[in-house]
Amino acid sequence: MASTSVASKLTAKVVSAAMPKSPMIHSSGNLYQILSSLPKDGVGARVTQARWEKKGIQDSYWEITRVRLKAEGNHGKAWGKLVWKGKPVNEHTTRIRQGLKYLWKDVTNAPNASVVKPAAPPAPTA
């Protein structure tokens, strides 16, 4: 009986050592943790601060255009375009400040995310 448990422990160690480590998926965390868990380090993604949703601020997010990660994705720099309450703030890319200070969420593909939804085309008039 003891040999079976030793064999199973050895097998588990060998299998876990052979398996590649999967990136940690964060539902919320600092900005750089969220971006590092996304494809292409989050370039093209839409992220929002979790506190904006708590304050009732809708249709506000950063669209990520450039990322430079450090320290295994826990620190870095990120740039993007801010959309605030459905309206773009600037046309040019801006560095995103306070990436470590607040909790952030990826809202790129969220079904009921606080992002701008395209307007429906006008109904044809007859």
Cα separation, 126 vs 75, in Å, equals 58
Provide φ and ψ at 38, rounded to 5°. -100, 155
Q: How many CB atoms lie within 10 A of CB 2?
A: 6
Amino acid 85: pLDDT: 93
Q: Are 27 and 43 in contact (CB under 8 A)?
A: no
Residues 38-96: pLDDT tens digits? Answer: 999 899 999 999 999 899 999 999 999 999 999 888 899 999 999 999 999 988 999 99
